Amino acid sequence: MSQFILAIDQGTTSTRAIVFDETYHVRGTGQQEFPQHFPRSGWVEHDPEDIWRTVQETMRFALANAGLALSDIAAIGITNQRETTILWDRASGRPIHNAIVWQDRRTAERCAAMKADGIEPALTAKTGLLLDPYFSGSKIGWILDQVPGARARAERGELAFGTVDTFLLWRLTGGRVHATDATNASRTLLFDIRSGEWDDELLALFGVPRAILPEVRDSAADFGVTDPAVVGAAVRIAGIAGDQHAATLGQACFRPGMLKSTYGTGCFALLNTGADLVQSKNRLLTTIAYRLDGKTTYALEGSIFVAGAAVQWLRDGLRMLERADQAGPMAAEADPHQNVYLVPAFTGLGAPWWDAEARGALFGLTRNTGPNEFVRAALESVCYQTRDLLDAMRRDWTRAGETVLRVDGGMVASDWTMQRLADILDAPVDRPVVLETTALGAAWLAGRQVGVWPAEEGFAASWRLNQQFLPHMAADLREAKLAGWRDAVRRTLTGG
């Protein structure tokens, strides 16, 4: 049997496909960016057809790059941007509206009104989430209410809902499979993470007909077979996980207490809490880390809306740099005596603040502030936000103890950023040899399911360290910088 696994990694700003061999090495890749749509301030959309097109094309590129055909692949794993919401016509497969992206804040008023009614505590107890526009539930309701005739069609079972994984699975199987996995389901505000089922009270709360929902399966499961008429060959789809959960798996964070943080468009830290479903007292999220063989493993998660997107803003919006990889060297040249803070609340602030109405702000500007100081402030904002998450996790779960952070995502290629992260956290930061951990996690799920890759213990033994960054910053300097950051956040919060 073939040992090659194909991972589809569908992200917020680009789609990648990666072929891994039996030793977990990358044999071929394909990547494409796709357009972002901003119809109004705080609104973010994708055209689902752009997503589907880039998936097809990157699959072809990756296979060609590896010198393989799709028929050479043992199985496919899918990982995806989470919470992004798509509804489509079951008969034609065509979306009825653009995808509403996880960053989108259009339902903030509705969520605020529901919160004012005292609904959030009961909702959090079931879902582990907060009542926020970030998640899928209110997005579904918005589409059903705004697209003429959509609600009646949904109640008749003519429409299908899915996060991006479900939409891609539908397309890849020629409309034969409408399913998701437990990790993606757990991000909708419609799923009880204790029972592992869609919840009728939550569905009624958000006005979502059960008829549009996908079946929920384990993260490693039989998700059907690709349609040869669509992609050219019949290949098993055997693993699905939301991107942050897949990265947790790719980092082999199988033991309770292990922590990973992914630095992409946003930043997402997951702390494995094992069988402990920890209800946060510090406005973190309780989520399903993964579900294997019917057994659920839980995690505490902190979500930062803007990480790499801040560098993207400096590059594309302000044109302060031409390439993202220039950020580290520019930050290193910044004036150490200027204390410039960027609070990147472009679409609100995530954990542990959860202020949907906050907007980005810069503090500490002088006449001498230039591009280097702007870039350093953007990179440091990611470090400060990670520290806020880690502090909250330690307060919520005392078993966390001393933490070594395993990192991945595009930003971790910057040595400067990783060193500053270790300095701000006052903790070691481990960067692995394989940085494509999100795709690797999806590939591992598929490989495990079809029996060509080992289970948890065998896979964990393959994890390799590229470089460990140890904290070197003086304690008084660290505390002064953190005090400046906390003051900047306080001034940015709408309730501050």
Q: Can you say which residues are annotated as belonging to the binding site for glycerol?
A: 82-83, 134, 243-244
Strands of the sheet containing 405-408, edge to edge, are: 285-292, 295-304, 267-274, 259-263, 405-408, 429-432, 465-469
As given in the structure block, the two tokens for residue 315 are: 């590059």
Q: Can you say which residues are annotated as belonging to the binding site for ADP?
A: 12, 16, 265, 308, 410
Looking at residue 109, its amino acid is E
Percent of the chain as helix, strand, coil, to the nearest 5: 40, 25, 40
Q: Can you say which residues are annotated as belonging to the binding site?
A: 12-14, 16, 82-83, 134, 243-244, 265, 308, 312, 410
Contact 111, 134 (CB under 8 A): no
**Residue 325: DSSP 8-state:** G
Residue 319 falls in which region: left (phi positive, over 0), alpha (psi -120 to 50) or beta: left
Sign of CA dihedral 127, 82, 432, 20: positive
Residue 261: is it exposed, middle or buried by C-beta count within 10 angstroms (0-12/13-18/19+)?
A: buried
Q: DSSP alpha helices (H): ranges in 21-86?
A: 48-66
DSSP string, 416-452: HHHHHHHHHHTS-EEEES---HHHHHHHHHHHHHHTS
Q: Of the candidates 156, 132, 134, which has an alpha carbon nearest to the alpha carbon of residue 144?
A: 156
Contact 217, 180 (CB under 8 A): yes
